[in-house]
A and B are shown apart, each in its own frame.
Chain A
Amino acid sequence: MSNSHGTDLNVHAATGDEPVFPLPPHHHRLTDTDPRAAKRAERQIATMFILSALGMVGFVVAYVMVPTTSYLDLGPVGVLQTSNLLLGLTFGTATLLIGVAAIHWAKKLMADEEIIDHRHPVGSTDEDREEALAAFNAGVAESGFAERPLLRRTLIAALALFPIPLIVLLKDMGPLPGDSLRHTIWRKGSRIVIDVSGQPLRPEDMSVGSLVSASPADLNDIQEAEGNQNARAKASIILVRMKPGEIVSEQGEGWSYQGILAFSKICTHVGCPIALYQQRTHHLLCPCHQSTFDLADSGAVVFGPAARRMPQLPITVDNEGYLVAQSDFHEPVGPSFWERP
């Protein structure tokens, strides 16, 4: 009973007297013995096939009759697209019926007597192995691969370099990073505008405790010119206003204006934009991985997987009284990267 081949040295199966249990006798089904039951099963299966065919026709009817703009309000269940519902119900039911009918057919009417097949060892016979080895050795000998080391080594050298052009070709998939991750489009005097409306902001527009998502005034022009959203992905900021006395520390002397602080909106963990702000604690929480930053204390990490503080943007007001940046960020925004000092 145990393995016929192989070396199971440490198997101490009960010796010799392994009991053998033959296949139990086959029990006939009702459909095997009662022709009426068999006929009934046949009718059931045929009915399912007919219903399936009707369902497919129903699908075509629904496809032709129901526009995609019609909706069905099912109250608490929600609003469903009528076309999606009808097409799915007809096609799904019809398909399901084919399957159920086929399985029912197999279970009720096809022979259900178990049959036995014998297994043979998976590998080749020893004879085949020897012949294969002989053929291989003959090929090696005829090729001279073993006797001509010069050919062998030069072939290996040539093949080793073969993939290099294929890899080098990938170089132009993108430009080299350079210092592009260290800068954003913020610069001295960039006006801060509200993200949604594009309105410039005065300090008096912000009440204590409020938070505003903002961006540089020239963001849309730059985005237009570059044809992508790269500038936005780095330059987005949030402005918060607190009582000047609540500010414990800042990343630079005089970087806030009358209690208004500007921080990058891009999480220093893996780059999700952050805007969950708790007024009372001045904590900023990332919705993706729950890194928490204390904006009243230089944007320091107080919880979660982020390792670096949230970079602060130094701000002031220009001579028209609008909030502007004093300069670009003094450290790279967003996730850490290898070259970051």
Chain B
Amino acid sequence: MSVIVKEVGRALGRADERLPVASGLKKNLRKVFPDHWSFMLGEIALYSFLILLLTGVYLTIFFKPSMTDVVYHGSYQPLVGVPMTEAYSSALGISFDVRGGLLIRQIHHWAALFFMAAMMVHMFRIFFTGAFRKPREFNWIIGGSMILIGLLEGFAGYSLPDDLLSGVGVRIVAGIVESIPIVGTYLLFFIFGGQYPGTDFIPRLYTFHVLLVPGILLASVGLHLVLVFYHKHTQYPGPGRTNENVVGFPLFPVYTAKAGGFFFVVFGVTVLISALVTINPIWAYGPYVPDQVTAGSQPDWYIGFVDGALRAFPSWESQFWGHTWSWNIFLPCVVLPGLMVTALLAYPFIESWVTGETGEHHLLDRPRNAATRTSLGAMAIAFYGVLVINGANDIIAAAFNLSINQLTWFTRIGIFIIPPLVFLSTHRFCMGLQRRDRELLLHGRESGQILRLPHGEFIEIHTPISDDQKAVILSKRDIAPLAIPAATDQNGVATPGLAGKKIRAKLSGFFFQDNVARPSAAEIEAAHHHAHEVHDHEITELHEAGKQAPSQLTD
């Protein structure tokens, strides 16, 4: 046995005398985790977050969060002698005078983009497979909140270097704050320590970015993982997999190696991209000056949907009682994101109310089998996508030589038309897949072999599907829509809470009325029996009669 293993054993023994390490390890070393590529998405988010913490700490060593005016004298020649804030000057210093500084800055920025993207795609996976259902609703809320917090954290970090591009972003946020009714102007003055831009904002934002928000994120990540660990991971349906078990590989050694190795893969790939692809070249933008702007200003992609909504919103503003209501800013930038996040966080509770299910769910849904949920999710992504695309409408207009006005109108109308179309087409798609599954169970797969029977009829031979495939398809659970309640019971007494029950029944119908029922065992048996009777008998006979090949066509 290797020396390392022996020494680790001894150290654990000594530790166990002080803390019951062994009891914890006994339970968890061989804890089972199911295997699927889509379970890596959350890992990418987690590892990107760790990379952000590591590189972020390094950057704080050299970054000076100060808006004091200085004149640049670093090694980036084009800006020598230009007045700028100390924040921008030190960010240039990190990029040009600290060895490896540019690399760490670029890793930090790339990792932030990956962090947000991985969290969102991970959320899509959770949503479409129904992993948010009981008992995991609270973990859905933690995850959804982390996306919102991550968005604020990303924006804060993006704004710290105080370059011309990020400064314009801060100017826009100041304008959004001003649009908030009643308290907006006061909030602006409290956040900026007076009028925009002042000299307090960067130092305040710095504390927010490196202390307050990372602390909240770290606590959320910890809680998120504890819950994943405690609930045991969900698994996809398949042979041997039920709602009462978890099938997979042990935490030690397989997942220690795979997940630990995957951290290095994510880190390595992020470093390689940072070595090869420039991100946020702040030196090219120049220092922030409030009366300058770069054409084609774009925020980082995850802010794009807010900017897209702001660009598309009509120019509504009203005056009531001597006050200004900036609907054109307040609705798209404060109310709309608020509603989107609320709908996101509330979804598990809405769905469980509609379905009336109270049991635990550990076996994942195949998206097709929850057609309405899947379509709602696709619709939400389409809504978000239209806004993101509109956030780049100037770039698209320039690249494809289109009219910016027409593009804006396309978004204004499309935001109401495209998501419902996506809903409908996704629903049809899911229904088709459900029918196909039913068909596969009843009649098997079309083999492509055409057989001509002695009396001239052509038939196609269907081959039964494998047990593995059957196990997957048969995991479908059919839920009948709730009946619309009668206004009074048989004694003529009015049903209590009738309106609520009716809404619930209607929503339940919306969710489940189109469901293609899974065939019962009897139906499957009957279908197979039928097939045997009609064809198999004749096929066998033909095969055996003189070993002559029947007129067979293969495509």
Chain A residues at the B interface, C-beta cutoff of 8 Å: 1-15, 17-19, 21-24, 63, 66-69, 78, 80-81, 83-85, 87-89, 91-103, 105-107, 110-112, 114-119, 121-123, 170-171, 173-177, 180-181, 195, 213, 215, 227-230, 232-234, 236, 265-266, 269-276, 287-291, 301, 303-308, 334-341
- Contact A215 to B358, CB < 8 A, known contacts A11-B477, A95-B268, A288-B168: no
Chain A residues with CB below 8 A from B174, complex form? 270-271, 335
Q: Write the chain B residue with the least CB distance to A104.
A: B261
Chain B residues with CB below 8 A from A306, complex form? 315, 328
CB distance from A196 to the nearest CB of B (A): 10
In contact, A336 and B191 (Cβ under 8 angstroms): no
| B313 lies within 8 A of chain A by Cβ | yes
Residue among B265, B313, B362 with max Cβ neighbours from chain A (10 Å) = B265
Chain A residues with CB below 8 A from B323, complex form? 338-340
Chain A residues with CB below 8 A from B270, complex form? 92
| B175 lies within 8 A of chain A by Cβ | yes
The docked-state distance in angstroms from the alpha carbon of A229 to that of B468 is: 69
Q: Mark B471-497, 1 if CB is under 8 A from A, else 0.
A: 100100111101000000000000000
| B518 lies within 8 A of chain A by Cβ | yes
CB distance from B281 to the nearest CB of A (A): 10
In contact, B478 and A119 (Cβ under 8 angstroms): no
In contact, B178 and A336 (Cβ under 8 angstroms): yes
Chain A residues with CB below 8 A from B290, complex form? 229, 232-233, 236, 273
- Contact A88 to B317, CB < 8 A, known contacts A68-B98, A176-B186, A233-B196: no
| B438 lies within 8 A of chain A by Cβ | no
In contact, A84 and B275 (Cβ under 8 angstroms): yes
In contact, A19 and B175 (Cβ under 8 angstroms): no
In contact, A117 and B232 (Cβ under 8 angstroms): yes
In contact, B480 and A12 (Cβ under 8 angstroms): yes
Q: Write the chain A residue with the least CB distance to B243.
A: A3
| B71 lies within 8 A of chain A by Cβ | no
In contact, A337 and B324 (Cβ under 8 angstroms): yes
Residue among B179, B197, B238, B290 with max Cβ neighbours from chain A (10 Å) = B290
In contact, B254 and A305 (Cβ under 8 angstroms): no
- Contact A230 to B482, CB < 8 A, known contacts A6-B359, A289-B311: no
Q: Write the chain A residue with the least CB distance to B358.
A: A6
**Quick check: which of B100-108, B366-374, B424-432 contacts chain A, the rest being far away?**
B100-108
The docked-state distance in angstroms from the alpha carbon of A47 to that of B448 is: 48
CB distance from B86 to the nearest CB of A (A): 13
CB distance from A99 to the nearest CB of B (A): 3
- 17 sample A-B contacts, Cβ–Cβ < 8 Å, listed by A number: A5-B359, A22-B240, A63-B100, A83-B103, A84-B275, A88-B106, A91-B103, A98-B268, A99-B267, A102-B258, A102-B260, A122-B135, A229-B289, A306-B315, A335-B178, A336-B317, A338-B180
| B182 lies within 8 A of chain A by Cβ | yes
In contact, B246 and A119 (Cβ under 8 angstroms): yes
Chain B residues with CB below 8 A from A170, complex form? 190
In contact, B326 and A101 (Cβ under 8 angstroms): no
Q: Mark B392-426, 1 if CB is under 8 A from A, else 0.
A: 01100000000011001000000000000000000
| B280 lies within 8 A of chain A by Cβ | no
In contact, B265 and A99 (Cβ under 8 angstroms): yes
A-B pairs, top 5 by smallest CB distance, nearest first, are A88-B275, A6-B359, A96-B268, A270-B175, A102-B261
CB distance from A27 to the nearest CB of B (A): 12
In contact, A270 and B171 (Cβ under 8 angstroms): yes
The docked-state distance in angstroms from the alpha carbon of A19 to that of B465 is: 15
In contact, B291 and A100 (Cβ under 8 angstroms): no
The docked-state distance in angstroms from the alpha carbon of A276 to that of B189 is: 30
Additional A-B contact list (8), CB under 8 Å, known A14-B520, A272-B168, A338-B324: A14-B518, A68-B75, A115-B32, A123-B135, A176-B186, A228-B199, A234-B195, A334-B175
In contact, A117 and B31 (Cβ under 8 angstroms): yes
CB distance from B153 to the nearest CB of A (A): 21
The docked-state distance in angstroms from the alpha carbon of A11 to that of B517 is: 12
Chain B residues with CB below 8 A from A100, complex form? 261, 264-265
CB distance from B162 to the nearest CB of A (A): 11
In contact, B315 and A17 (Cβ under 8 angstroms): no
In contact, B264 and A96 (Cβ under 8 angstroms): yes
Chain B residues with CB below 8 A from A274, complex form? 293
CB distance from A162 to the nearest CB of B (A): 21
CB distance from A224 to the nearest CB of B (A): 9
Residue among B246, B268, B316, B522 with max Cβ neighbours from chain A (10 Å) = B268
The docked-state distance in angstroms from the alpha carbon of A180 to that of B185 is: 11
Residue among A68, A101, A103, A305 with max Cβ neighbours from chain B (10 Å) = A305
The docked-state distance in angstroms from the alpha carbon of A89 to that of B520 is: 58
In contact, A213 and B178 (Cβ under 8 angstroms): no
CB distance from A89 to the nearest CB of B (A): 5
In contact, A3 and B360 (Cβ under 8 angstroms): yes
The docked-state distance in angstroms from the alpha carbon of A10 to that of B483 is: 10
A105, A121, A303: the one within 8 Å of B405 (CB): A303
CB distance from A110 to the nearest CB of B (A): 5
Q: Write the chain A residue with the least CB distance to B47.
A: A99
Chain B residues with CB below 8 A from A92, complex form? 268-272, 274-275
A99, A117, A276: the one within 8 Å of B263 (CB): A99
CB distance from B327 to the nearest CB of A (A): 8
In contact, B245 and A118 (Cβ under 8 angstroms): yes
Q: Write the chain B residue with the least CB distance to A79.
A: B278
Residue among B32, B261, B267, B521 with max Cβ neighbours from chain A (10 Å) = B261
CB distance from B172 to the nearest CB of A (A): 5
Chain A residues with CB below 8 A from B263, complex form? 99
Residue among A105, A180, A307 with max Cβ neighbours from chain B (10 Å) = A307
- Contact A177 to B326, CB < 8 A, known contacts A7-B358, A89-B275, A230-B194: no
In contact, A106 and B253 (Cβ under 8 angstroms): yes
In contact, A232 and B171 (Cβ under 8 angstroms): no
Q: Mark B288-307, 1 if CB is under 8 A from A, else 0.
A: 01111111110000000001
A271, A275, A290, A335: the one within 8 Å of B393 (CB): A290
CB distance from B84 to the nearest CB of A (A): 11
| B276 lies within 8 A of chain A by Cβ | yes
Q: Write the chain A residue with the least CB distance to B467.
A: A21
The docked-state distance in angstroms from the alpha carbon of A94 to that of B264 is: 9
CB distance from A334 to the nearest CB of B (A): 8
The docked-state distance in angstroms from the alpha carbon of A87 to that of B276 is: 11
Chain A residues with CB below 8 A from B479, complex form? 10-11
